[in-house]
Amino acid sequence: MKVLVTGGAGYIGSVVATRLLEAGHEVTVIDDLSTGHRDAVPDDAQFVLDKVQQVSSTLGRRAFDGVVHLAASSLVAESITDPQKYETNNVAGTRHLLEALRTTGISRIVFSSSAAVYGEPSWVPIEEDAPTVPLNPYGASKLAVDQMLDEEASRHGIAAVSLRYFNVAGSYASLGERHDPETHLIPLTLRAALDGRPVDIFGGDYPTPDGTCIRDYIHVADIADAHLLALGAASPGTWRVYNLGNGEGFSVRQVIAAARRVTGLQLTERVTARRAGDPAVLVASSERARRDLDWAPRRPELDEMVDDAWNFVQRRQR
């Protein structure tokens, strides 16, 4: 297939592009490099430096069989202070992309949605038909796009899949997390280990066994593979949604303990205030993806994810 990957210079997008190429697909990446990195785009991919809002000219030049749409703003805290940015980049940007797909006859799309659409779940593991009550404009923007895809599929017959990621971790083929600002637990923990600083734990009084938040960590290569399977399985006139996680939760303290094991470094911790909008426990049920897509995470061990993230951090130190 000829596949356009929007946001293919980012952490997850670059791994998706790499896995697509490894599977024999032709890949074009479009990215405005607002948060992505040019050197994360695989050498064998075509690269177009542009915003998703300008995607029409890229689509007009080449015939694509499908699009994997990852380009988005993705900072929860920023979405609270600047909700308009999330409306413009995530919601309006995707609306433009869908119009362009219609014009050019491209009828297959896989979208990077998020566990953030569920907000504070009433129960775990979370299935796809759980209530969607996002706690912030970032989650709301992902949900708005999911709904847009549902409508687009029924009205215009496209084949659409939303993949709702839980906590993506690890690295693949020298591609890893390089966010600025970095907000995610694993890279921040590894950075603290290197710098000999304590790692901040956002809240130690959650109703969990050790008082810290529990999340479902999933390897970035496993996430990427789900995109390839979803591209193949997408069916015309249908929008499907899949949660992607391992179905097992780890607390912040368990992640820090994994980082101690992996790095062999002293790592102290300091409990600070809760971060606004953090649910106590988020764990996915990915039964639907396993059943429909025949997807199975191949790197489910937390230590392996932390180890891959650590290898990436160390490589960039050299």
* Least distance between ligand UDP and beta carbon 149 (Å): 22
Question: Which region among 93-101, 136-144, 178-186, 236-244 touches ligand UDP (by CB under 6 A)?
Answer: 178-186
Q: Which of 167, 171, 246, 263 binds ligand UDP (CB under 6 A)?
A: 167
- In the chain, the amino acid numbered 315 is R
Distance from C-alpha of 23 to C-alpha of 231, rounded to nearest angstrom: 12
Closest by CA position to 19, among listed 68, 65, 56, 88: 68
* Least distance between ligand UDP and beta carbon 275 (Å): 5
Q: Which residue has the tokens 């007009």?
A: 60
Q: Does 275 bind ligand UDP (CB under 6 A)?
A: yes
Listed in sequence order, the DSSP H helices in 47-166 are 55-61, 76-81, 83-86, 93-104, 137-156
Distance from C-alpha of 132 to C-alpha of 115, rounded to nearest angstrom: 9
Tell me whether residue 118 is one of the annotated catalytic residues. no
Q: Does 232 bind ligand UDP (CB under 6 A)?
A: no
108 versus 215: smaller Cβ distance to ligand UDP: 215
Q: Does 219 bind ligand UDP (CB under 6 A)?
A: no
Q: Which residue has the tokens 């280990």?
A: 193
Q: Which of 54, 183, 208, 311 binds ligand UDP (CB under 6 A)?
A: 183
Q: Which of 188, 226, 244, 309 binds ligand UDP (CB under 6 A)?
A: 188
* Least distance between ligand UDP and beta carbon 114 (Å): 8
Question: Which region among 52-60, 61-69, 198-206, 258-266 touches ligand UDP (by CB under 6 A)?
Answer: 198-206
Which long-range contacts link 222-225 to residues 24+ away (Cβ below 8 Å)? 222/295, 222/297, 222/298, 222/299, 222/300, 223/12, 223/15, 223/16, 223/163, 223/165, 223/168, 224/12, 224/15, 224/16, 224/18, 224/19, 224/172, 225/19, 225/295, 225/298
Residue of 138, 165, 217, 242 marked active site: 138
Residues that bind ligand UDP in the complex, under the rule CB under 6 A: 167, 183-185, 188, 200-202, 213, 215, 252, 275, 278
Q: Show which residues are catalytic.
A: 138
